Amino acid sequence: MDPDLLPRGGDAAQGLTPVVAVVALGGAVGAAARYGAALLWPTAPGSFPWTTLLVNAAGCAVIGVFMVVVTDVWAAHRLVRPFFGTGVLGGFTTFSTYAVDIQKFLSDGQAGTGLAYMALTLLVALVMVWSAVWATRRVLGERTR
């Protein structure tokens, strides 16, 4: 647990209650958004899980922007990061579905596709976070000049 989330000189359990509450609320919002994406762009059984890949890519890009904003620009309230970063984006991104998709590929005898999907998702996630951080810092740096 991030010690900055706990109140100074207070009961640790009592201090965690608002954190747990905002993570749960944010998780519900993020999961609902992910479910909406799955309804809008359903993946047919046995096909490549493009929606999962795109949801994870978008979530990684947003976390890159968000982390620059809350660490370099905005002195956010202590509950903003757990609500949005852990809750909303944790609920929106779906790396558990990604793992299940890989397992399905492997059990269906499509090891090559499963391994390609595993590597592609990892690469896309890292590139999206890095490029979002880079672009956000560049845009915000130019605004302050």
Output the pTM of the full model. 0.82
Report pLDDT for 76.
Answer: 83
- Summarize the confidence of residues 85-98 as an average pLDDT: 92
87 within 8 A of 25, measured Cβ to Cβ: yes
Whether pLDDT at 11 is above 80:
no
Whether pLDDT at 14 is above 80:
no
Whether pLDDT at 92 is above 50:
yes
- Summarize the confidence of residues 113-122 as an average pLDDT: 96
Report pLDDT for 74.
Answer: 84
For all residues of the chain together, what is the average pLDDT?
A: 89
**Tokens 């998709």 sit at which residue?**
101
Q: pLDDT tens, 31-56?
A: 999 999 999 999 888 899 999 999 99
Report pLDDT for 145.
Answer: 46
Report pLDDT for 132.
Answer: 97
Rounded (5°) CA angle 33-21-81 = 70
